Structure 1
Amino acid sequence: MRRATRMATTDEQLRLMTRVARMYHERGMRQPQIAEELRISQPRVSRLLKQAVELGIVRTIVVPPAGVFTDLEEAVQTRYGLRDMAIVDVEGEGEEVLPALGAATAVYLETTLMEGDRVGISSWSATLLATVEAMRSKPGGRFLEQVVQLVGGVGDPKVQVQATRLMGRLADITGAEPIFISAPGVVGNRAARDAIVADPKVADVIASWDRLTVALVGIGSLEPSPLLRQSGNIFSAEEQEELRRLGGVGDISLHFFDEDGTLLNTDLDERVIGIAPDTFRGIPRRIGVAGGHRKYAAIRAALRGGWIDVLITDLGVARRLADEPDRSTP
């Protein structure tokens, strides 16, 4: 079709088309100026510019600026079936990547959260704390409906203040109603858990998880983060060793999975007061924020298992994810 169009175009038309294209794209002239200088109508200028694109005389090339990794983002999205991804131009471990991840996630949330969203958040995450500290209020005040805690938060008072600050600040910035769960993240046995979740106040929070539109979570490695370790909301060293023996590599909201992202079949889940895996997977948009090579296995597993559909991570992890061998290849 393009060849036939070109053959039907005379040399004089091609010359005029090329001249108009150069005046518009190279010299920055407006269409009315071009029409006046060449003494042709403005609609004809517009048609000539359109034809120049159709015939390949004008080609648009997008050149990403430094620090933007669109091709890499698209490669990881395609491989793991993500709806979106953001890569931060930083590499390293822990404290080295945390500030940049937090700042990038803040910008992502500011531009993608919608009015009326109900956001569930895992409160024991230093990265998410850095995120909300970097966020700015939107003009016009309230736009989120609720900010809801996804896992129990009662722990060491000195550390609890950090989790409360995370939830409180996000609620303040967005004008949302904060909903805290007044219960520990981990209890001694199933009977204790059943008694706590039967409390009407706790039951109301659990019911709100079904109405969430967005989840914002950290991705934990098998080794608990310093913040979570200090909180007291963790399993014992013996239980962590058992998770390791079963092939555990990471967790989301204290639900542990293996390298394929498959939930580990243990009775530990019965001791967690937090959102159930099936309820979590039912949230329409699930944003995972994590970085550093120490967390690579956990991040990859969360992607393989479909725990999250949006990933915000650092450049080093993203490159490793893109270079991961195709598991379908023998």
Structure 2
Amino acid sequence: MYHERGIRQSEIAAALSISQAKVSRLLKRAETAGIVRTIVTVAPGVHAELEERLEAGYGLAEAVIVDVEPDADEAELLAAIGAGAAGYLEASLSGTDRIGVSSWSRSVLAMTDRMRPLPTRGATEVVQLLGGTGAPEAQSHSHRLLSSLARMLGADPIYVQAPGIVADPAVRDSLLKDPSMQETMRHWESLTMTIMGIGSIEPSDVLSTSGNAFADDERAQLLAEGAVGDICHHVLRIDGSAVTGEIDDRVIAIPVDKLLRIPRRVGIAGGERKLDAIRGAIAGGWVTALVTDLHTAERLAETI
């Protein structure tokens, strides 16, 4: 009556002239005796076992895997990962989070584009983690991402009014002394989570036209030092170590030590082109959670 016909316990008690408490006890006895068994069927597109394997093997707090067709192009890959990240974020916010965002990431923009305004406030503020100004035709990407995400979450946007990369360390040091940058840096100190794209050394189209990408000779130098990717313009090797030096000293972004102290650090990336960068981000503890596609997840699982 209860499991097969969906009749409520109170109605069963009345029909059988017994107490509702006895109905409850009999249902529990049925489970103990094995008369009633619970079977969970995994829905198509859900890869809980592989997610748990990545979490256990790499020490991740959470892994989210999305289905993507093997022959999907980059636009389809971004759309799927963005949708998965949007669902994860909407389900995991506390309402009091202070979120740092890497604003030149196409993956994070794909996530934002697939979000809907939350019925209640999802976060108190959304803060840029790296310089957001650049060429006018590309700068709208960075500002649109932050303002859209803040609107969806009912949060206050905090912008970085500076470029991501400057000519030399002295220029960066001078910009960091500006009152507006000092205010933004204070917000970096109190972040509770980050949402970050994991970039490859080769920049995306929007980044390459923004004026915030590394020049060809700089990328060659970084590759010679073992670079495989970047997070917030901080370049990393496949073992997770950061590539430091003059190039990194020209980046206007949250410092690595402050980034790694933020409790939740969500990385969003997928595809063969970013596999080594994702490996580096996991190995170095740059991310505590990962949203990626099935094929990339399977490749990562091969080395556990």
Under a length normalisation based on structure 1, what TM-score does the superposition of the two structures give? 0.86
Residue 123 of structure 1 corresponds to 103
The CA deviation at 1:56 is 3.1
Answer with 36-45 or 148-157: which moved more: 36-45
Unaligned ranges ≥5, structure 2: none
Cα deviation, 1:262-319, whole Å, max 9, x if unaligned, reads 1123322111000011111111111111111111111122112111111111111112
* CA–CA distance in structure 2, aligned partners of residues 127 and 287 of structure 1: 12
Residue 129 of structure 2 corresponds to 150
Which is greater in Rg? 1
Query: 91, 106, 109: which one pairs with 1:111?
Result: 91
Query: 54, 65, 72: which one pairs with 2:43?
Result: 65
Q: How many residues align?
A: 302
Residue 46 of structure 1 corresponds to 24
Residue 202 of structure 2 corresponds to 223
What letter matches 2:207 in structure 1? L
The answer on whether the counterparts of 1:285 and 1:310 sit within 8 Å (CA) in structure 2 is: yes
The change in CA–CA distance for 1:67 and 1:143 in structure 2 (over 3 A counts) is closer
| 1:211-250 equivalences in 2 (<5 Å) | 211-250=190-229
* CA–CA distance in structure 1, aligned partners of residues 92 and 59 of structure 2: 19
Query: 25, 28, 34: which one pairs with 2:3?
Result: 25
Under a length normalisation based on structure 2, what TM-score does the superposition of the two structures give? 0.93
1:276 has 2:255 as partner: yes
The CA deviation at 1:242 is 1.7
The change in CA–CA distance for 1:45 and 1:305 in structure 2 (over 3 A counts) is same
Local SS of the residue matching 1:207: helix
What letter matches 2:82 in structure 1? G
The answer on whether the counterparts of 1:120 and 1:150 sit within 8 Å (CA) in structure 2 is: yes
Query: 269, 279, 298: which one pairs with 1:290?
Result: 269
The answer on whether the counterparts of 1:93 and 1:291 sit within 8 Å (CA) in structure 2 is: no
Using the aligned pairs only, state the percent identity. Answer: 49
* CA–CA distance in structure 2, aligned partners of residues 46 and 174 of structure 1: 42
* CA–CA distance in structure 2, aligned partners of residues 42 and 198 of structure 1: 70
* CA–CA distance in structure 2, aligned partners of residues 265 and 109 of structure 1: 31
Unaligned ranges ≥5, structure 1: 1-22
* CA–CA distance in structure 2, aligned partners of residues 187 and 258 of structure 1: 22
What letter matches 1:118 in structure 2? R
| 1:84-95 equivalences in 2 (<5 Å) | 84-91=62-69, 92-95=72-75
| 1:305-316 equivalences in 2 (<5 Å) | 305-316=284-295
The CA deviation at 1:209 is 0.3
The answer on whether the counterparts of 2:135 and 2:211 sit within 8 Å (CA) in structure 1 is: yes
The answer on whether the counterparts of 1:156 and 1:230 sit within 8 Å (CA) in structure 2 is: yes
The change in CA–CA distance for 1:71 and 1:129 in structure 2 (over 3 A counts) is same
The CA deviation at 1:194 is 0.8
User: Would you tell me which structure has more helix in proportion to its own residues?
Assistant: 1
1:264 has 2:243 as partner: yes
Residue 188 of structure 1 corresponds to 167
Residue 13 of structure 1 corresponds to none
* CA–CA distance in structure 1, aligned partners of residues 111 and 172 of structure 2: 31
The answer on whether the counterparts of 2:102 and 2:195 sit within 8 Å (CA) in structure 1 is: yes
The change in CA–CA distance for 1:36 and 1:90 in structure 2 (over 3 A counts) is same
